[in-house]
Structure formats: structure tokens, C-alpha cells
Structure 1
Amino acid sequence: MGALIDVQGLTKSYGRNRGIVDLTFQVEEGEIFGFLGPNGAGKTTTIRTLMGFLRPSAGRATIAGLDCWAQSTAVKRLVGYLPSEFAFDPGMTGAQILSYLGHLRGGVDRRYVAALCDRLDFDPGKRFREYSRGNRQKLGIIQAFMHRPRLLILDEPTGGLDPLNQQEFYRILREVQAEGATVFLSSHILPEVEHTCQRVGIVRDGRLVEINEVEQLKRLRQQTVVVTFGRQVPSEEFASLPEVEDLKVERDGRELHLHVRGGDLSAVIRKAAEYNAQNLTVQEPSLEEIFMRFYEPEGVGARA
């Protein structure tokens, strides 16, 4: 499979206000791609440009070979879109909204729509004004998925959902991927990206600072290793290992807490074995730790 989304040098300027600058990335057909960043980082601007709602100041974005600005109508036929804030006529019921949007799509499978409503515990009989934040989000998710699009572009999709509905959403996401759909998922909720995405891009101040597989990104951060011994050990021998960046001594020298670069722990394990370690545990970095690395102030380990 080739790239379904192809972004080259994409820039959107708002004058003095920050937009996005020189974004270049691809999303392969059939993958779930996470687009990470805090509010204001440029995620929604990128999505609106992909959807053809904003004209880029420079660069180009295509979906399935179609220019996102010049051929935006054709692009929209391929996409199921969930905006960050889903709004509609407050007097219409959920069923009327889904029926209206379904007709705009040329018709949808009503049984599939009903199944989505059931799985997300959504009551389509109420008027839009009566829905809570979570139920409006459910309605937005259902309308994005209901026509089985080739590409889903989802901006903060689980905002307002309770944990049970979040888990159901993840199951639906995996199912549509198994059927061949591609997903571009914007989020600042890092555990959901860990659970759902194969690759992630991190955007900082409108610029893409990293793009990689989720597992590879985890290895960019230090691992925390805790080693317990039956007696005091010479901590300086562990501190001198090339992979060890920091060391803390606990329990009168019988327990060491080490920060180790990368994923290779072999030198630490060998040294621990020399002193007959009783226990060794490794704490894998969370994606949140990695994410925060890119948002440290300039000059304190940040990557531009």
C-alpha cells in the first residue's frame, strides 16, 4: 500500500499568530496515525487544511492523489470527519441529523448506524440541544463512521466520553482498520494514542518535531531501572556505565535507581549479576514522558 495522505511543506500563516510551518509527512493506507500536541500546537489548523476548509499559505497536501484545496469536494467524498467541536441545528433530533447527513452521503446502511448507536449507548430520539457534551461527541463519531469512509479524520475524538465509551470507540477503530480504513487521529490524550496508533507525529509550535512508530518513540526517553541487592554495592561502578545517565542510592546502598538511555540494558544486567542482584525491575517510559521532552523550554533538551 502507498501513502493515502501526502503533506509536503504545508504552511498556514495567520500573520502574527502562529499557524503551521513547513509540515511534511505521509500517512500510509490502512494505518492509524496519531497527531500529537497540546492545544494551540497546530493540530486543528492542519486538519482544517487537509479538509479544504483553509487554503495553505505554502506547500501542498493531497489525499488519494487529490489536492486538498483545489479538489476539496472530491476529497470530502472519501473522508469521515469529526471536528473538535461537533455542532448542529439545536432543534433537530439525533435521528434527523443522522438521516440528513446520510442522505448527503447518498445513503448509508441503517443497520450499521443503529449498531453504532447501540454500541455507544446513544439515544437518537433527543433533540441536539438536549444532549450532553459526551452525547454530542457520540453523535459526531457515529456520523463520521456511518458511511464506512476510506479515510477517517478525527479531531480529539474521545473528548467528553466516559471510560466505557472510550474503550468501545477504540474497538470500533480497530475494526474499521481491519476492514482497510485509514485513520488520522489528532489528540493530546497520550494513552489513547499508545493504545490505537502505529505511528505518531508530534507537533510543537506549529512545526513537526518528530514522526516515528510509537514503540520507537518510547525508546527515545530514559528507562528507569531499580536493582535490589542483599548487601551494599559500589554504586560508582554502575554510574560509570556508558548508558547510565543518572543514579540514586537507596536503602544504605542496597538499592540503586538508574536512568538508562535507550533500550539496551545488557551492561546494567551484567553488572547487577556480578553483585548477585536479588531483583531488577524496568519501568518503560510512557508516551507522556516522551511528549513532555519535546515541550521543555528551548535550551533545556527541547528539539526544534
Structure 2
Amino acid sequence: MEIIKVKGLQKKFGKFTALHDVSLSVNAGEVVGFIGPNGSGKSTTIRVLLGIINRNGGSAEIFGKDVWSDSLEIHKRVSYVPGDVALWGNLSGGEIIDLFIKLHGGGDKAKRDYLIERFELDPKKKAKTYSKGNRQKVGLIAALSVDSDLYIFDEPTSGLDPLMEAVFQEEIEKIKDAGKAILLSSHILSEVERLADKVAIIRQGRVVETGTLDELRHLTRSTVTLVTEKDVSAISSVDGVYDFVLNGEQATFSADNQHMNTIMSEAVKLGVKKFESVPPTLEDLFMRHYTGQ
């Protein structure tokens, strides 16, 4: 079931075009990683989806409803955490979490208490004493304590230490398994790689690539380490081999996936002693699509 459906989204701020032609979708039970550096259009897209700003062109629907004209109805079923959670300084963390839950229409107090413990938050301290990481914890606990059908996270682990990032990832996997839809915008590519079923890479207001990690990996090269009985340098002239480096008997090179069968056949002729092929990481994919490398 399609929860988010965006087609040809456009947004201008005066003469500046922030979103040129953004299209993406998120289904129930699916985590979509939305990646791109600052200024690429991630947060603008999310603000349009939340009905905070109106688009100049294209269509954007959540639950089959228009994100601008039906925003109040949509918000009843959505949880959102921004990259920098603003809090009321004189209220305690626990009071703010309860207020957020109440504004949403009610949540699970047992789950709230469980999450406070998991994220190691002191709910009695006033918000003005909190670090950035603790402010993020308040937003995450409030969002995860309510039963929503769609969760939108915009740099949600900003300020969290690695241990708390791991807790967040475990909780996301739970709500995904419960059939919820999740849009995850993040700079932390390892986080997206672990959680995302699909990835959308945005560049200068345009989605330049979208698909599963396996689908995107077909578009770029694997790193191969090879040791053979005969002279391995013969592999350097095979189609699909790039950046060939010889270190003693061991060769390392990049290989186009569509040529891998030919490369392996030629390697077998030389007598394979070692053959390792490592697929590109999300960071490799991102850098290739973002820098054109």
C-alpha cells in the first residue's frame, strides 16, 4: 500500500528553485532513505509533505490525501522528528513528552516509560539544561510513543552518541516490522544502509537516483582483490577492469558488474588462489551520483 506518493514536485523561493522535479514513494512496512547533503532539497521536500509550505507544482499525497489541503487529517496519523528539536526550557523532559503525546491524541504510557529507559533520558530535568542529544531523545521518545502509520525523520540522530544511534535503529526496525511506513532523511549513510529498503538520492532539487540498494549497486563497480598462480597483470587489459593496482602478487581493481563473468573466466585461466569481490557501499553510490565520479 502506497503511503507517500510524490510526483514532479516543484518549489520556488522567489527566483530560487529549491525543488525542480522530485518524485518518490513510500509503502507500508518500508523504510525509504532520503539522502543528499545540505541544500539539496531534503528538508524542503519534508516541509511540503508536512503541509508547512505549499508547492508550486506537481502533486504530493499522504494516505491518498493532498498534503496541503488535507494536512490536519494527515497529521493525526503521522509522527515527525526534525534534526533539531525545539523545546520549552522551563518544562521537564517528561512533561514535554507527555504534552507532545497529548497533542497527537494519546499514546502508550508503558511504551513511553520503556523508551525513556532505553534512551537513558532523565525526564525530571528541565529542557533548558539538556544537551542537543537529549533534546533529540525527547523528540524521538514522543514520536515513537504514539501509534502512527507514517514516521518522518529528518536527521533524527543528530547529536546522539553511537550507542543511542543503535537504540534508534533497533526501534525503527520494530515499527517497520509492524507495517508502518518510514521516510528517513539522514547524513549518516551507514544508518540508511542498515535500515533502508529503498534509497532516493537528491541533488540540487532533483532526485537523481532511486531504487533498492541491490538495484543501485548494479549501476556501479565492485572492488576485487585477486591473487593467481600465473602473472595476474594480464587481468588489467580485460574489459570492465579499472584502477588496476599490483602489490606483489596481489591485484586490486574496480570491476563493472556486467563484466564480472568475463573477468572471472580470465582469472580462472591464470589459476585463482584468491578472489574477493566487495559490492559498493552506500557511501560509494552516493559519492558517484553526487559528484559524478
> Which bracket does the TM-score occupy, shorter chain normalised?
over 0.9
- Contact 2:33/2:183, CA 8 A, preserved across alignment: yes
| SS of corresponding position for 1:210 | strand
SS at match of 1:175: helix
Distance in 1 of aligned mates of 2:258 and 2:167: 33
- Whole-angstrom distance in 2 between the partners of 1:255 and 1:102: 59
The match for 1:257 among 252, 258, 262 is 252
Partner of 2:289: 294
Partner of 2:224: 225
Q: How does 1:52-91 map to 2 (within 5 A)?
A: 52-91=51-90
Q: Which amino acid aligns with 1:84?
A: G
Q: What is the TM-score when the length of structure 2 is the normalising length?
A: 0.95
Post-superposition offset of 1:113: 0.5
Letter in 2 for 1:118: E
Distance 1:287 1:17 in 2: 30
Contact in 2 for aligned 1:219/1:285 (Cα 8 Å): no
Cα deviation, residue 244, structure 1 = 1.8
Q: Distance in 2 between matches of 1:28 and 1:200?
A: 13
Percentage of pairs with the same residue? 35
Q: Runs of 5+ in structure 2 lacking a partner?
A: none
Q: Distance in 2 between matches of 1:100 and 1:25?
A: 32
Matched-pair contact (CA < 8 Å) for 2:83–2:157: no
Partner of 1:171: 170
Residues 144-153 or 9-18, more deviating: 9-18
* 1: CA distance, partners of 2:213 / 2:14: 34
Task: Give me the whole-angstrom Cα distance separating, in 1, the residues matched to 2:281 and 2:258.
Answer: 14
Aligned length: 293
Superposed displacement of residue 103, structure 1: 1.7
Q: Which residue of 2 aligns with 1:97?
A: 96
Counterparts of 1:256 and 1:127 in 2: how far apart (Å)? 59
Deviation at 1:245, TM superposition (A): 3.1
3-state secondary structure, aligned to 2:69: coil
Contact 1:229–1:278, Cα closer than 8 Å, also in 2: yes
Task: Mark the CA change 1:101 to 1:284 in structure 2 (over 3 Å): closer, same or farther.
Answer: same
Q: Is the 8 A contact 1:8 1:23 kept in 2?
A: yes
1:184 CA displacement: 0.5
**CA-based RMSD:** 1.5
How far does residue 156 in structure 1 lie from its aligned partner after superposition?
A: 0.6
Contact 1:223 1:263 in 2 (8 A): no
Shift of 1:183: 0.3
2:272 is paired with a residue of what secondary structure? Answer: coil
Judged with a 3 Å threshold, the aligned counterparts in structure 2 of structure 1 residues 264 and 127 are, in CA distance, closer, same or farther, namely farther
Deviation at 1:263, TM superposition (A): 6.0
